[in-house]
Structure 1
Amino acid sequence: MTRFIKSSATILAFAAVLGGCEKKSDYSLGPIAAPTNVTITAAVAGVDGTHPNGDGSGDVAFTLSGTGVLAYKIDYDASDGIVLDLLPTGKATKKYTTTGTNTYRVTVVAYGTGGAATTVTKDVTVLTIYNPPAALVTNLVGATNSKTWAVDKDANGHFGVGPWTGSSTPEWYAATPNEKAGCCNCFYTARFTFAKNTTTGAYSLTVASPDGAFTKTGGLAGGLPGIPASGAEGCYPYAGGTSSFAFVASGTAVPSSASTKVAMVLGGNNTYIGYGAQLKEYEILSITATTMYLRVQGTETGNAWYLKLKAI
């Protein structure tokens, strides 16, 4: 009986020691603080005493700054709806393509700890001047000022991939005729109608792709509705769309011997040409009344995609 009592006392004493060693953990979310002193600096290219709104290129270099900022998002033009793009470095260059002198309201959201955010706006006035070659416009929209194009599935290299810099050819990959028919026939059934309003001079693009939009790894995420943030190359549900577009002088390093040095910049986020890309500037390498060869930056940074289209 004495042994049992001593053993029980020992067990209880050991349990008490263990209990005394336990320490409660205190958890805290930390301070929730919105950023302060958030500013937008906009440097319009070519501004001087005689060109207060720039040199006509439409280029504006944005620099964002603030105290306690973890991330920035920016919308470059509130007039067409607020679409916020992530700007990890707080720096970006935007090319405004609407011709004439226009004022754009820029919106920036700066995020701090705990998701707290500060929103600031800034009005930026920019001059954009560009007149594309008349023959190029005629080839694109035709004599009736409206022409429909499709990917030229029978052409070698109708889709290609190469480096964005240091090359002007799809040296990494070039599709063979009808190569994508088995996996992604929407690439070939999509139709792209380019039109010119003869009254206003404005240009528009209408995309009809009932079999889906052809893209990869969310190349249209944040733009076309229904496109996931990530995914393999394929056809994704897409209801079609219409947007404006503008001609601009191409700023790439592709030499004039391999390019018209003219690009089309699509307005908004609901259209694409051929293969959905993150950027909306398609350089026209060559164009005739029946053929068009385009180059655009791909979904992966550093890649250039090449597209051959034919008039329908």
Structure 2
Amino acid sequence: MKKLDIIFKTLMSLTIVIFITSCEIDSFAESDEHSFGEIIAPSNVQITANVVGQDADNPNGDGSGEVEFTVTADNAISYKFVNGDAETVKADGKITYTFTSLGVNSYTISAIAMGAGGTTSSQNITVDVLVSYVPPAELIAALTTGTWKMSKDEKGHLGVAAGLNADNSANAANWGAPIPWWWSADPLAKVNTAIYDDRYTFSDWDADAGKGKFSFNVGPDGAIFGKEEPMKADLGGDRGATSTGDPNYEYEFYPYENYEVEFTIVPFTARWDWNQDGKYEDTSAGQEIYPGEKIIFSGKGFLGFYVGNQEFFIWERSDTRIRYTTIGFDGNSWHGIINNE
């Protein structure tokens, strides 16, 4: 009898637990139902294209291959652009592509509006774009000869300065000063990081397509050097790397693998002059005083110190040395010098 009483009490306890658990689950489900509300997918997706230099006499643009795309939608949180195999998320719905295949070619861009609960809506646009720019033969010859590396024995082989708009305001869409006046690395300043054994190889330039191959070898240490925030966002979390923390927040040894992407070269004109402090600044008068070139990598290709950009403006170049600038995730201009082995 005592044994039956114990069994009865045990069954009653289990029943109570199951009842309480069921109530809690039902209660959570009801609360969850009300907290999310109605999920509305984005609608009225509109995408427009501005082919740079397009007018009545130049219906396919000025030959630079540059096209500005803008997408809007109702109930959208963010936007994604798809150009071939490349996908780019832009919260503001704006992106600029530079096409490089010579002649007039048609390109189709997809814009995806992303909404609550993972809902999406999309729209495509096709543009006809003229590309007439041909990179200097001596630049192609220099790039595709030998292997490149950081010029570690040279003052200023890494550095940083402000990134400025045409009105001298900071903006990541434009290029900063051509000299790193905030900080300029001394020779071998970053010997305790992963950067100096990295090697860069440019090859297989296709003049008709306007692109070639870029190979990045991470070296014996199997790592790269860069800023914590864009590395985590772009390259796959922290990968077990340890950040330097405040104030620089860098990964000195970020585990990474060798990779190959495409590169293109497009024209770029900077507007800079010396100010009274002996620093470069935008003339703000539209005076085009520094014609040059810009290297654009596909995917997550980059040179030197990773700051989240795939576009690198060339300030100086010779057969064996290139001084460049890229605009980082923070809007600053990050500088580097590479030389040919």
TM-score, normalised via structure 2 length: 0.72
Q: Which runs of 5+ in 1 are unaligned?
A: 1-24
- In structure 2, which of residues 205, 208, 213 is the aligned counterpart of residue 204 of structure 1? 213
Map of 1:275 onto structure 2: 305
Provide Cα deviations, 1:92-125, integer angstroms capped at 9, x if missing partner.
3332234333322212221223332212222222
Q: Bigger CA drift: 92-101 or 234-243?
A: 92-101
Q: 1:226 touches 1:236 (CA, 8 Å); kept in 2? A: no
Residue 264 (1) aligns with residue 295 (2): yes
- Give the partner amino acid of 2:146: K
Give the CA deviation at 1:245. 1.3
- Give the partner amino acid of 1:203: G
- In structure 2, which of residues 32, 40, 47 is the aligned counterpart of residue 33 of structure 1? 40
Q: Bigger CA drift: 129-138 or 59-68?
A: 129-138
Map of 2:203 onto structure 1: 195
- In structure 2, which of residues 185, 191, 215 is the aligned counterpart of residue 181 of structure 1? 191
- In structure 2, which of residues 296, 316, 341 is the aligned counterpart of residue 286 of structure 1? 316
Provide Cα deviations, 1:41-61, integer angstroms capped at 9, x if missing partner.
111112233432211112212
Residue 47 (1) aligns with residue 91 (2): no
Map of 2:76 onto structure 1: 69
Give the CA deviation at 1:156. 0.8
Give the CA deviation at 1:38. 0.5
Could you tell me how far apart the structure 1 residues matched to 2:270 and 2:236 are? 29
SS of the residue 2:91 aligns to: coil
Paired residue total: 276
Q: 1:99 touches 1:128 (CA, 8 Å); kept in 2? A: yes
The alignment yields a C-alpha RMSD, in angstroms, of 2.8
Q: 2:269 touches 2:289 (CA, 8 Å); kept in 1? A: no
- Give the partner amino acid of 2:78: A
Q: Bigger CA drift: 251-260 or 198-207?
A: 251-260
Give the CA deviation at 1:68. 1.7
Change beyond 3 A, Cα 1:127–1:194? same
SS of the residue 2:195 aligns to: helix
Change beyond 3 A, Cα 1:151–1:258? farther
Map of 2:265 onto structure 1: 247
Give the CA deviation at 1:224. 4.4
TM-score, normalised via structure 1 length: 0.78
Give the CA deviation at 1:217. 2.5
Map of 1:8 onto structure 2: none
- Give the partner amino acid of 1:274: G
Q: 1:259 touches 1:286 (CA, 8 Å); kept in 2? A: no
Q: 1:258 touches 1:285 (CA, 8 Å); kept in 2? A: no
Residue 213 (1) aligns with residue 224 (2): yes
SS of the residue 1:193 aligns to: strand
- Give the partner amino acid of 2:299: G
Could you tell me how far apart the structure 2 residues matched to 1:171 and 1:139 are? 28
Change beyond 3 A, Cα 1:132–1:252? same
Q: 1:187 touches 1:275 (CA, 8 Å); kept in 2? A: yes
Change beyond 3 A, Cα 1:293–1:248? same
Map of 2:25 onto structure 1: none
Change beyond 3 A, Cα 1:37–1:202? closer
What percent of counterpart residues are identical? 30
The residue correspondences of 1:7-22 to structure 2 (distance < 5 A) are: none
Change beyond 3 A, Cα 1:163–1:96? same
Could you tell me how far apart the structure 1 residues matched to 2:227 and 2:99 are? 27
Q: 1:221 touches 1:227 (CA, 8 Å); kept in 2? A: yes
Could you tell me how far apart the structure 1 residues matched to 2:86 and 2:161 are? 33
Q: 2:65 touches 2:99 (CA, 8 Å); kept in 1? A: yes
Give the CA deviation at 1:227. 6.1
Map of 1:171 onto structure 2: 181
Change beyond 3 A, Cα 1:249–1:227? farther
Could you tell me how far apart the structure 1 residues matched to 2:179 and 2:207 are? 38
Could you tell me how far apart the structure 2 residues matched to 1:49 and 1:266 are? 32
Provide Cα deviations, 1:2-24, integer angstroms capped at 9, x if missing partner.
xxxxxxxxxxxxxxxxxxxxxxx
Map of 2:255 onto structure 1: 237
- In structure 2, which of residues 113, 116, 128 is the aligned counterpart of residue 113 of structure 1? 116
Map of 2:26 onto structure 1: none
Could you tell me how far apart the structure 1 residues matched to 2:310 and 2:254 are? 18
SS of the residue 2:200 aligns to: strand
Q: 2:304 touches 2:336 (CA, 8 Å); kept in 1? A: yes
Change beyond 3 A, Cα 1:250–1:235? farther
Q: Which runs of 5+ in 2 are unaligned?
A: 1-29, 169-176, 244-248, 274-286
Could you tell me how far apart the structure 2 residues matched to 1:259 and 1:307 are? 18
Residue 310 (1) aligns with residue 319 (2): no
Give the CA deviation at 1:40. 0.8
